């Protein structure tokens, strides 16, 4: 499978301009990738104004993703603010070219930024298959909580959609590699670059990592760009058979 991670400079709370910018970054990948991975809140930036910026599940952002997926013949995924009933969610959406969709609601809301007081947290993990690869998505702050992403031979690829600030760049780099090593899986982390409307600067360094914790591809901090890599499920399976650490893993259950 060929996966592509997009690293944009997200324009603050400007959906129309972000759609235009993302479309230009994605266009060279039409018919040349299997999955396009976007960051957290890719259409607005990490805004705490859900009442003003949220959309219904089938709103304009979903329709934009649907169109891009159909034209490019790939899956498109990323998170944005969704209102579902009376609740606001930081919701990760995956849309396939045939309009199949999956979603995951952010479990660990960033309390230090007030996200927990404005959004409802997710209550379940997501694992799904696309073109022969089992995928589990998480959003930004989820990265700090390894129990939540623990792999019991359920998935082959973790996707992290993030708005990760430059002040904590070392944490981003370290924990993405740790998640790949401990879960024996590929990891794709999509982060933004630039500075948001609150003056927070982001570290970029979107990356694709192999199950040994080695970088396959990595973007620079300040570049608006895409990175692409092939991941091999056959090689992953062989590695797990040769070094089956999961056989010795501790058993546990989550209280959700």
Catalytic residue positions, numbered: 40, 106, 140
Token pair of 16 as six digits: 């129309």
Are the CB atoms for 229 and 218 separated by under 8 Å? no
User: Cα(202)–Cα(209) distance, rounded to whole angstroms?
Assistant: 20
| 250 Cβ contact list (under 8 Å, min separation 6) | none
Are the CB atoms for 69 and 98 separated by under 8 Å? no
DSSP conformation letters of 41-83: TTTT-S-S-HHHH-B-TTSHHHHHHHHHHHHHTSEEEEEEEEE
Are the CB atoms for 227 and 211 separated by under 8 Å? no
User: Cα(202)–Cα(220) distance, rounded to whole angstroms?
Assistant: 12
């Amino acid at each position: 499978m060929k996966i592509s991670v997009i690293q944009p400079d997200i324009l603050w709370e400007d959906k129309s301009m972000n759609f235009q910018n993302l479309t230009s970054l994605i266009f060279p990948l039409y018919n040349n990738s299997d999955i396009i991975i976007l960051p957290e809140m890719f259409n607005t930036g990490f805004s705490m104004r859900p009442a003003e910026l949220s959309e219904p599940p089938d709103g304009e952002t979903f329709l934009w993703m649907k169109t891009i997926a159909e034209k490019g013949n790939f899956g498109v995924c990323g998170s944005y603010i969704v209102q579902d009933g009376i609740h606001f969610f930081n919701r990760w959406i995956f849309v396939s070219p045939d309009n199949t969709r999956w979603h995951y609601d952010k479990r660990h809301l960033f309390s230090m930024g007030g996200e927990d007081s404005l959004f409802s947290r997710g209550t379940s993990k997501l694992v799904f298959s696309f073109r022969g690869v089992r995928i589990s998505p998480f959003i930004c702050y989820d990265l700090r909580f390894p129990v939540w992403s623990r792999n019991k031979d359920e998935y082959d690829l973790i996707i992290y959609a993030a708005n990760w600030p430059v002040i904590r760049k070392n944490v981003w780099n370290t924990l993405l590699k740790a998640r790949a090593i401990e879960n024996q899986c590929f990891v794709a982390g999509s982060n933004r670059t630039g500075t948001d409307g609150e003056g927070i600067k982001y570290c970029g360094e979107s990356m694709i990592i192999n199950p040994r914790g080695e970088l396959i591809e990595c973007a620079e901090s300040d570049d608006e760009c895409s990175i692409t890599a092939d991941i091999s499920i056959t090689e992953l399976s062989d590695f797990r058979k040769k070094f089956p650490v999961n056989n010795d893993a501790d058993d546990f259950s989550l209280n959700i």
